[in-house]
């Protein structure tokens, strides 16, 4: 059963997928048009899941499930991945390539997608600094999503690529 993302409790399980490019409004609409009915029928071992989807910053797709209602099982998670894989094919976009870094210079800036080698080059050249923001795909709950979706480079796994003078 699909519910509004705003109704998801902070404890709800969240999965974060980043597109390897900024999505057009038409592509975002198509994702919502396909994912919303899927979530309405999504179930775990025959029991409906209370789920929701949200697209943030034109490239972050978040699916959430309220754990207190019915937890998603391995099979139900596989179904959500399958529909995302189908949508990837249809939109010619990747949502599973973790070597594409979604970056913002600051919170109010527009997001851009950079391949990891280019991101590292820009770090070395000083074009990206330690306070720049990247999407934290490791958030596990809606509560974490609200407070930790965007993380400073210096506090992320990418900190190891910062020049020693930048840390």
- The full DSSP string for 81-93 is HHHHHHHHHHHT-
Partners of 71 in beta bridges:
none
C-alpha 79: how far from its chain's center? 17
Contacts of residue 50, defined as CB under 8 A and 6 or more positions apart, other chains included, come to 1, 3, 65, 66, 69, 70
Output the pLDDT for position 40. 86
Spatial CA neighbour of 22 closest among 111, 103, 105, 99 = 111
Output the pLDDT for position 73. 61
Q: How far apart are CA 100 and CA 68, in angstroms?
A: 33
Where in the chain are the domains? 5-91, 100-161
Contacts of residue 15, defined as CB under 8 A and 6 or more positions apart, other chains included, come to 62, 63, 64, 77, 80
pLDDT per residue of the chain (167 residues) written in tens, 0 to 9? 677 889 899 999 999 999 999 999 999 999 999 999 988 888 777 777 889 999 999 999 999 998 765 556 667 778 888 989 999 999 999 999 989 999 999 999 999 999 999 999 999 999 999 999 999 999 999 999 999 999 999 999 999 999 876 55
Output the pLDDT for position 59. 94
Output the pLDDT for position 71. 58
Identify the helix (H) or strand (E) that includes residue 53: strand 51-56
Output the pLDDT for position 2. 72
Q: How far apart are CA 39 and CA 46, in angstroms?
A: 13
Output the pLDDT for position 113. 95
Output the pLDDT for position 29. 95
């Amino acid at each position: 059963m699909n519910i509004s993302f705003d109704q998801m409790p902070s404890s709800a399980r969240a999965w974060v997928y980043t597109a390897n490019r900024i999505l057009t409004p038409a592509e975002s609409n198509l994702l919502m048009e396909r994912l919303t009915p899927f979530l309405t029928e999504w179930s775990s071992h025959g029991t409906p899941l209370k789920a929701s989807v949200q697209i943030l910053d034109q490239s972050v797709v978040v699916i959430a499930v309220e754990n207190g209602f019915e937890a998603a099982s391995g099979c139900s998670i596989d179904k959500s991945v399958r529909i995302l894989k189908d949508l990837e094919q249809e939109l010619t976009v990747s949502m599973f390539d973790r070597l594409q870094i979604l970056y913002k210079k600051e919170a109010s800036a527009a997001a851009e997608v950079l391949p990891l080698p280019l991101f590292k080059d820009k770090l070395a050249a000083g074009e990206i600094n330690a306070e720049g923001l990247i999407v934290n795909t490791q958030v596990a709950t809606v509560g974490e999503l609200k407070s930790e979706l965007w993380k400073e480079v210096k506090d992320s796994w990418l900190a190891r690529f910062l020049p020693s003078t930048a840390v």
